[in-house]
Amino acid sequence: MKRALMTGCGAYLPERVLTNDEIAQRLDTSDQWIRQRTGICERRIAATGETTADLGTTAAQRALAQVGMTANDVDLLVVATATPDETFPATATRIQARLGMTRGAAFDVHAVCTGFVYALAVADNFIKVGQARTALVVGAETFSRILDWEDRGTCVLFGDGAGAVVLEAVENGEADGRGVLSTHLHSDGRHHDALYVDGGPSSTQTVGHLRMEGREVFRHAVSRMAEVIDEALDANDLTPGDVDWLVPHQANMRIIEAMGRRLNLPPDRVVSTVDRHANTSAASIPLALCEAVDDGRIQRGDLVLMEGMGGGFTWGSALVRW
Ligand code: ACO
């Protein structure tokens, strides 16, 4: 059996910053309300014509550059997104073409805000069984395109962005304890109505808008994410004290802080970008991870716990020794 080492990461955020105050100029909301309930101060918005594949391509290029690889070193490209450029082909194949990658396989995974954890689990399993040696896992979203900008209960919560990581196969015995230690995935489709997009090619032939019962989602998010934290620790025979960094999905500061408390982690060991990025769905975990790697907080050998929850509902975790 092989082990997947996480060797590099890259991120991309669109240039345009949209502040709470700007939203408050055209909707009945306020910077104070948004900050107090969510911790969000601003978010990035993709430029007109800038697509999910554009964002994902730049993040992927930066991840490859960090490890000194070219696109043709990659066997597998898995893109987590709920906001694809087109109904088909997969956004992954668009990113593949732009990277200049002419071999291997590329496909999308759709698990909304848990998308990155799902895509990472898929790529990890390809590597474990020897079906890929090098994988790129990308989380890329343009949620600004599916928001109802008249609905103050949802439009203030989301932003656009992309993050990517490189996974490389090594023999288990040569991993020195590093790499993807475990992934755990869950879903429960009974919760569709709490968080969904009211459009799609087969139902309405429209793109639709995101609809959410905020309180219901909040309640489930706190309990499901706490469960997966416990599950990841138990599966690896670890205690909260073993975790160096929590890199949670960035939905809401109150949820992030609650998960940090569950692990007894001091706040500076919980990576948070929600204040500047808002919720970028499948991109939020790799964006946060990449920020903490690039600024030197996360060091080689650190134990990093990632967890997320999203529409479906879906939820899950990935435990990685960086
Ligand atoms: N500005 C001002 N007032 C607002 C806004 C806003 N942007 N949005 C809602 N309100 C109002 C509501 O209309 C309501 O007014 P009313 O009492 O007169 O009816 C009041 O604020 C309270 O609304 P609630 O929805 O009950 O507010 P709550 O405290 O639950 O906060 C929030 C709402 C921030 C959405 C919270 O429920 C939340 O964070 N839920 C999690 C949602 C989430 O993170 N979703 C992302 C996808 S899933 C994931 O990533 C985990």
pLDDT at 248 exceeding the cut of 90: yes
> Which pLDDT belongs to residue 24?
97
Atom of ligand 1 nearest to the CA of 309: 51
Residues 161, 14: contact at Cβ < 8 Å? yes
Q: What CATH code is carried by the domain that includes residue 152? A: 3.40.47.10
Is residue 277 situated within a structural domain? no
Is residue 167 situated within a structural domain? yes
Work out how many domains the chain is built from and give that number: 2
DSSP one-letter string for 1-50: -EEEEEEEEEEE--SEEEEHHHHHHHSS--HHHHHHHH---EEEEPPTT-
pLDDT in tens, 154-163: 999 999 999 9
Ligand 1 contact, 199 CB (< 6 A): no
Atom of ligand 1 nearest to the CA of 155: 7
Report how far ligand 1's centroid is from the alpha carbon of 116 (Å).
Answer: 25
Note the ipTM here. 0.94
Of the three residues 174, 206, 239, the one that is the final residue of a domain is: 174
Range of the domain at 314: 179-270+283-321
Is residue 275 situated within a structural domain? no
**Same domain, yes or no, for 153 and 224?**
no
pLDDT at 263 exceeding the cut of 90: no
pLDDT in tens, 169-222: 999 888 889 999 999 999 999 999 999 999 999 999 999 999 999 999 999 999
**Same domain, yes or no, for 170 and 207?**
no
**Same domain, yes or no, for 121 and 69?**
yes
Residues 134, 75: contact at Cβ < 8 Å? yes
Q: Which protein residue's CA is at the shortest distance from atom 3 of ligand 1?
A: 29
**Same domain, yes or no, for 25 and 137?**
yes
For residue 299, the one-letter residue type is: Q
Catalytic residue among 209, 249, 277, 290: 249
Atom of ligand 1 nearest to the CA of 30: 1
Q: Which protein residue's CA is at the shortest distance from atom 47 of ligand 1?
A: 310
> Which pLDDT belongs to residue 195?
97
184 labelled catalytic: no
Ligand 1 contact, 114 CB (< 6 A): no
Least confident of 51-55, 144-148, 240-244: 240-244
Mean pLDDT of 284-303: 97
To test ligand 1's pocket by mutation, which of 252, 285, 317 has the most ligand atoms within 8 angstroms of CB? 252
To test ligand 1's pocket by mutation, which of 217, 219, 254, 272 has the most ligand atoms within 8 angstroms of CB? 217
**Same domain, yes or no, for 6 and 129?**
yes
**Same domain, yes or no, for 170 and 187?**
no
**Same domain, yes or no, for 165 and 239?**
no
* Total residue count of the chain as it appears in this document: 322
Strand partners, 197: 210
Is residue 276 situated within a structural domain? no
290 labelled catalytic: no
Mean pLDDT, the chain, as a whole number? 96
Atom of ligand 1 nearest to the CA of 284: 50
279 labelled catalytic: yes
Report how far ligand 1's centroid is from the alpha carbon of 286 (Å).
Answer: 25
Is residue 258 situated within a structural domain? yes
Is residue 85 situated within a structural domain? yes
**Same domain, yes or no, for 249 and 307?**
yes
pLDDT at 44 exceeding the cut of 90: yes
Is residue 141 situated within a structural domain? yes
**Same domain, yes or no, for 139 and 84?**
yes
Of the three residues 147, 174, 201, the one that is the final residue of a domain is: 174
Of the three residues 174, 202, 230, the one that is the final residue of a domain is: 174
Percent of the chain with pLDDT over 90: 95
Cα–Cα distance between 272 and 234 in angstroms, integer? 25
> Which pLDDT belongs to residue 173?
82
pLDDT in tens, 220-245: 999 999 999 999 999 999 999 999 99
Cα–Cα distance between 134 and 218 in angstroms, integer? 36
Residues 245, 298: contact at Cβ < 8 Å? yes
pLDDT in tens, 65-87: 999 999 999 999 999 999 999 99
> Which pLDDT belongs to residue 316?
98
**Same domain, yes or no, for 51 and 133?**
yes
**Same domain, yes or no, for 127 and 204?**
no
Is residue 278 situated within a structural domain? no
**Same domain, yes or no, for 213 and 156?**
no
